[in-house]
Amino acid sequence: MKAIVLAFGIAKDILGGPDITLDFPGNTTADLKSVLENQFPRLKQLRSYMVAVNNEYAQDCTVLTEADEIAIIPPVSGG
């Protein structure tokens, strides 16, 4: 599957820009995360990050389509 993945915060630095086009096997959020973490090992070092699909947080079992808007949301600290 081919997807455009948007990145925010520290994820943008890790991925090298605000978005990447990724071609990966499978079609779930878990498949996407596996490929991202293999290509960008620093992503695994984040305590937690979320994947949003069409402006909603996604579970690992969420099925993706090429038309989906996919975003990597890094952990956010508040104060």
How much is the pLDDT for 35?
96
DSSP string covering 1-68: -EEEEEE-THHHHHHTSSEEEEE-SSSBHHHHHHHHHHH-GGGGGSS--EEEETTEE--TTPBP-TTS
Q: Which domains does the chain have, with CATH numbers?
A: 2-73 (3.10.20.30)
How much is the pLDDT for 50?
95
- The pTM of this model reads 0.91
Could you read off the pLDDT tens digit of each residue along the chain, which spans 79 residues?
999 999 999 999 999 999 999 999 999 999 999 999 999 999 998 878 999 999 999 999 999 999 999 999 998 766 5
How much is the pLDDT for 39?
96
The rounded distance, in Å, linking the Cα atoms of 12 and 19 is 7
